[in-house]
Amino acid sequence: MKPIWLRIKPEEPLVLGSVKPDAQFLTTCTYIPGRLLRGAWAEWLQMQGVRDIFSHVQRLRIGNFFPAVEDGQLQYALPLPLTAVTCKHEPGFRTELVPNRRGHGVVDTLLPQLTYHLLREAGAQMTAPFVLTCIQNQCDARMEPADGFYGVYKQGQQERYVQFRPRFHAQTKVALSRFRRASQAQMLYTVNALAPKAPAVTTKNGTKPVIFLGRVYGDPQALQELKQALEHIAIGALHTRGYGRVTAETTDLSGWPGLKERVKRFNNLLRELWKDLKRLAANADALPAEPEGMYFSVNLLAPGVFQNQGMPSLVPELHINGRVLKPVWWATRPDVASGWSTAWGLPKPTNLAARMGSVYVYRWDDGSLDGLLPALQTLETEGIGLRRDEGFGEVLVCHPFHQEVEER
């Protein structure tokens, strides 16, 4: 099943988090979790008197939506993988269009680290440790993790990478009791909302609209229903009080590399890096000319909840074409999977989760790429791990940023 890309444009500030009954601050995350769109859809169905809302909204799998500024020719927007690093002295992309936002560059370390690891596994005696420093203008500074969201913009034949810089605006409000829907005496709280505009990317001053790009899978009729619901119901917290109104439309991302292309490029670059790094081995002549097997990465676009043999884990096993695959290399960090059930007004159980941006590399030995592709497509369509119906475990196979092994 192919993804359908949706473009969501806020008309009002957004509060994208869950409301806790006694919190005095409401803060927001800077992307739209798919479950908030589903929540708005469920609320609309409820108002229409639809029964069995759960089976209704299950017809569509809704992924997370990532922010970018609508300015110039935007190709796509994604979270950076945990393997992305940037110069410690001058952080940020080199390819930003606005001069005073340019840094020394962001680079991805997954493929170099994987190659180094696989060479050592193959018996290479490496003469140098794996170290990364910034190579712009003889900077030589250490690199540190780069996180957040980035957008890719086309300009002529070139691709420009731009980091998303959100704007927030804060407002103090009188609290409403979540049970009585009446104002509670002397309870004030501060709302920190995501503004619907952010600094322009093509000009030094001014702002442009923020949009969010994400994928949905499933029945086109269900998608029509979701779009209709969003015309009537705002998303997120305080959505009856001047926050969270959005419009949604399907969009065609012409610059988005398809699954097969991403897996091919990943393996081609791995072979190139193998040849390069092999020269650093004292026993280079004794090593194979190319890495054995085929590799692919699975990147988390949402936190992932995993269990291995009944125990919580940060490292997922995959079941592909009747085989169990364990990752050969990974980068992950812990997170907490919580949630709020709007139906019950109760917190949901809390699980250990692997953070959005986590990346796992698997090896595949059984046959051709064409035989593997349908299984990889299923991973993207269905996600991995537990609590997927709440939006956990959305994945992308071979994140395009893994191609960026030179500072961008």
Q: Which residues bind Zn ion (CB under 5 A)?
A: 87, 89-90, 104, 134, 139, 141
CB nearer to Zn ion: give 72 or 105: 105
Shortest distance, position 143 Cβ to Zn ion, whole Å: 8
CA distances from 234 to 242, 250, 340 (A): 9, 18, 18
CB nearer to Zn ion: give 103 or 385: 103
CB nearer to Zn ion: give 87 or 294: 87
The token pair at 389 is 């119906």
CB nearer to Zn ion: give 90 or 147: 90
Shortest distance, position 155 Cβ to Zn ion, whole Å: 23
How far apart (Å, rounded) are the C-alpha atoms in residues 161 and 96? 6
Q: How far is CA 132 from the centre of its chain?
A: 24
Cβ neighbours of 230 (radius 10 Å)? 22
The arrangement of strands across the sheet holding 73-79 comes to: 73-79, 149-155, 158-163
Shortest distance, position 146 Cβ to Zn ion, whole Å: 12
Contacts of 99 (CB under 8 A, 6+ apart): 204
Shortest distance, position 69 Cβ to Zn ion, whole Å: 25
Please report where in the chains the tokens 């440790």 appear, as a residue.
Answer: 129
Pair 263, 111: CB distance under 8 Å: no
> Under DSSP, is residue 355 helix (H, G, I), strand (E, B) or coil?
coil
* Torsion over CA: 352, 356, 362, 367 (sign): positive
Shortest distance, position 91 Cβ to Zn ion, whole Å: 8
Shortest distance, position 135 Cβ to Zn ion, whole Å: 8
CB nearer to Zn ion: give 104 or 402: 104
Instruction: Give the number of residues written for the chain.
Output: 408
CB nearer to Zn ion: give 89 or 173: 89
